[in-house]
Amino acid sequence: MARFIYRVTNPATNFQLFQTGETDYDAFTAKPDDIGQLKLLGFANINLYSSSDYSRIDFNFKRPALQDARVRQALIYGLDRQKLITVVYQGYGTVANQPISPVSWAYDPQGINPYAYDVNKAKQLLDQAGWKPGADGIRQRDGKKLELTLLVTKKLLNDALVPIAKDNYRQIGVLLKPQVLDFNALLAQRKAGNYDLASLSTSSLNDPHDGVRDYISQVSETGYNNPQVDKLIGQANATLDIEQRKPLYHQLYQVLAEDPPVILLGNRKILSASSARVTGFKPDVYNGLTGSLPDVKRVQ
């Protein structure tokens, strides 16, 4: 009788388990070292494809400083996202500039502000918003310093994000105060509104609506409210015709770029491998292994 045994693994042991034949399939971190190790095994069928998710930093719109779009734009210009993605994904990820993956039919970079790292632009926007450097270099307005808390969990992306963001933001006069929490504690803090910024990633996005539904004012947990965004999301979600939806999402992404609800961070590649003694594994960006499980067989 054919059986499929699902085993929970972790990055500290999954390569060893795969190497010794205790597992026939697993996911790995998409980086040159991991790919090189898998190739050296000689029996690994390697799958490398773009994920449908994206990583981001949420703004808390209940904080007065973050209600100003110029401040939010400055925080995007002032963060070296390309350096972050290069450090974390080592060539197997890209900077995100839309709340959707490049693999989606809704993705279109034309006319979307890429927010390339620009310290001077960030400083200019903060000056325009009335935040002036104090004696210690930290910006102030109405006697209050521009200090921001950043909620993160312990994971590879955030391990690089914290030092890069602290250094980048110090250069533009913003004092960043990271708080490292477990995932449930981060969600609780975010729900209670006890934060300024919070680093998160989406789950897999099967439809463009999944990437923007958090920005609908009626359901937004961060307090984001833009009537034009609400209207465009509603129109785009009201039809199944892709050709009608495409221009609506493109317009929506342009509006979101000018009035950003989040700092978009990156899109990543997914790396997985299956043993040559098993056939039928055909993971895809939206369904993972689910669709191929009926065809999985051990080589006789």
Q: What is the per-residue pLDDT across 12-45, written as a single tens digit (0 to 9) for each?
A: 888 899 899 899 888 888 889 889 999 999 999 9
Nearest in space to 98 (alpha carbons), one of 161, 42, 54, 148: 54
- The pLDDT of residue 6: 78
CB 24 within 8 A of CB 266: no
Q: What is the pTM of this model?
A: 0.90
pLDDT band at 157 (very low <50, low <70, confident <90, very high): confident
May I ask the CATH class of domain 55-267?
Answer: alpha beta
Per-residue pLDDT, averaged over 152-160, amounts to 91
CB 202 within 8 A of CB 215: no
246-273 confidence digits (pLDDT tens): 999 999 999 999 999 999 999 999 898 9
Burial class, 235, CB count within 10 angstroms (exposed 0-12 / middle 13-18 / buried 19+): middle
Q: Which helix (H) or strand (E) holds 177?
A: strand 175-181
**pLDDT tops 80 at residue 105:** yes
Extract the tokens encoding 249. Answer: 């999402």
210-249 confidence digits (pLDDT tens): 999 999 999 999 999 999 999 999 999 999 999 999 999 9
CB 288 within 8 A of CB 25: no
**pLDDT tops 50 at residue 183:** yes
CB 157 within 8 A of CB 89: no
Query: Residue 290: CB partners within 8 Å, gap ≥ 6?
Result: none
- The pLDDT of residue 278: 87
- The pLDDT of residue 27: 85
CA 62, 65, 70, 72 torsion-angle sign: negative
The CA distance from 31 to 27, in Å, is: 12
pLDDT band at 1 (very low <50, low <70, confident <90, very high): very low
**pLDDT tops 60 at residue 132:** yes
Pairing of strands 197-201, 55-59: antiparallel
Burial class, 143, CB count within 10 angstroms (exposed 0-12 / middle 13-18 / buried 19+): exposed
The CA distance from 73 to 68, in Å, is: 9
Delimit the CATH 3.10.105.10 region(s) of the chain.
55-267
